[in-house]
A = this chain, B = another copy of it.
Amino acid sequence: MGRTSDARERILAAAQTLIELHGYSALGVAEICKAAGVPKGSFYYFFDSKEQLALAVIDEHWAVQRGDWDRILCGDDPPLQRLRRLFEATEAGQRAGQRSCGTVSGCLFGNLALEMSNQAEVLRGRLQEIFEAQVGMVEKVIAEAQERGEATVADPLDAARSVVAQLEGQVLFAKLYNDTRRLDALWTNCLSLLGATAAGGPGLQTGAAGE
């Protein structure tokens, strides 16, 4: 099998789906290969181990998500509007996942962080990098909002960590209750965490900023 084959992509896609459905530990190489429709030998042609595969799944998922986050968070709209769009996109993504597989699958990185942090240092390290990048992207937007007098936080980095923590916590509940409406609270909570209710003026709480 040559490198021009799409076997690697099919293995990655099958692995991501299976990790989202069953987690990492429950995953077997034979099951991945069956779902991907490739012989078991081709797995070890592309990946040294299940851990290497998980890293590749994480990297591929982050490459796509980072593109989405960049597009949403680095636009020309006012900063808080961009943050709101990020939450809307998160909710839309979880709804799409629920429609396609019947259940809210949650955040791949959050799922793996809780399942694997204490078991595989290489996965922990990669997930730390990704969440740091997410927090950094949110921090820049918060700093912009603060410069415009639309947010009042003591420290944009701490505030960004809290916004991303709120996102992960609400996604956890969306998954547990299989209900994406849990994510409706993200925007209001974000405004509260950023002191934006008081500073942002009328309209922010009522939905005008995201219209």
**Option from B21, B23, B25, B176 in Cβ contact (under 8 Å) with A131:** B176
Across the interface, do B195 and A189 meet the contact criterion of CB distance under 8 Å?
A: no
Expressed in whole angstroms, the Cα–Cα distance for A119 and B103 within the complex equals 10
How far apart sit A5 and B182, CA to CA, in the bound complex (Å)? 45
- Chain B residues within an 8 Å CB radius of A103: 117-118
A72 CB–B CB distance under 8 Å: no
Which segment of A53-61, A137-145, A164-172 sits at the interface?
A164-172
Copies of the protein in its oligomer: 2
Q: Mark A166-200, 1 if CB is under 8 A from B, else 0.
A: 11111011011110001001001100110101100
Report whether A166 and B162 are in contact in the complex, using a CB–CB cutoff of 8 Å: yes
Residue tally, chain A, CB below 8 Å to B: 48
Most B CB within 10 A of own CB, among A104, A172, A188, A195: A172
- Known: A25-B25, A114-B106, A118-B21. Is A173-B161 also a contact (CB below 8 A)? yes
Interface pairs A-B: 5 shortest CB-CB: A169-B169, A165-B169, A25-B25, A25-B26, A168-B169
18 contacts between A and B (CB under 8 A): A21-B119, A23-B23, A25-B25, A25-B115, A26-B119, A103-B118, A111-B115, A114-B114, A115-B115, A124-B178, A127-B176, A128-B176, A128-B177, A162-B166, A165-B173, A168-B168, A168-B169, A189-B193
Please list the residues of chain A having a beta carbon within 8 angstroms of any beta carbon in chain B: 21-23, 25-26, 103-106, 110-111, 113-119, 124, 127-128, 131, 154, 158, 161-162, 164-170, 172-173, 175-178, 182, 185, 188-189, 192-193, 195, 197-198
